[in-house]
Amino acid sequence: MDSTKNEIIEIEPVVSTTMRLVKYEDLNHHGTLFAGRSTEWFVESGFIAATRFLPANNIVCRKIHGMNFTKPVKPGEIVRFDSKIIYVGKSSVITHIKANVGNSDASFLSGFITFIHVNQTTKASAHNLKLKISLKEDEILHNEALELIK
Q: What are the tens digits of pLDDT across the range 56-107?
A: 999 999 999 989 899 999 999 999 999 999 999 999 999 999 999 988 888 9
Q: Report if residue 1 sits inside a domain.
A: no
Task: Name the amino acid, one letter, at 16.
Answer: S
User: Which CATH number does the domain housing residue 41 bear?
Assistant: 3.10.129.10
**Better-predicted residue by pLDDT, 5 or 108:** 108
Q: Whole domain around residue 74: which residue ranges?
A: 9-148
Q: Residue 37 falls within a domain, yes or no?
A: yes
**DSSP at 27:** B
The C-alpha atoms of residue 73 and residue 30 are separated, in whole angstroms, by 11
Q: What are phi and psi of 22, to 5 degrees?
A: -80, 115
pLDDT of residue 104: 87
* Residue 5 pLDDT: 60
Is residue 4 situated within a structural domain? no
**pLDDT for 3 beyond 80:** no
Q: How far is CA 124 from CA 68, 113, 130, in A?
A: 28, 16, 17
In a domain, 63, yes or no: yes
Task: Kindly state whether residue 64 falls inside one of the protein's structural domains.
Answer: yes
- The answer to whether position 26 is within a domain reads yes
In a domain, 76, yes or no: yes
How many domains is the chain partitioned into structurally? 1
pLDDT of 115 > 90? The answer is: yes
Q: With respect to residue 95, please indicate whether it lies within any of the assigned structural domains.
A: yes
Interval 19-64: pLDDT, tens: 999 999 999 999 999 999 999 999 999 999 999 999 999 999 999 9
Percentage of the chain beyond pLDDT 90 is: 89
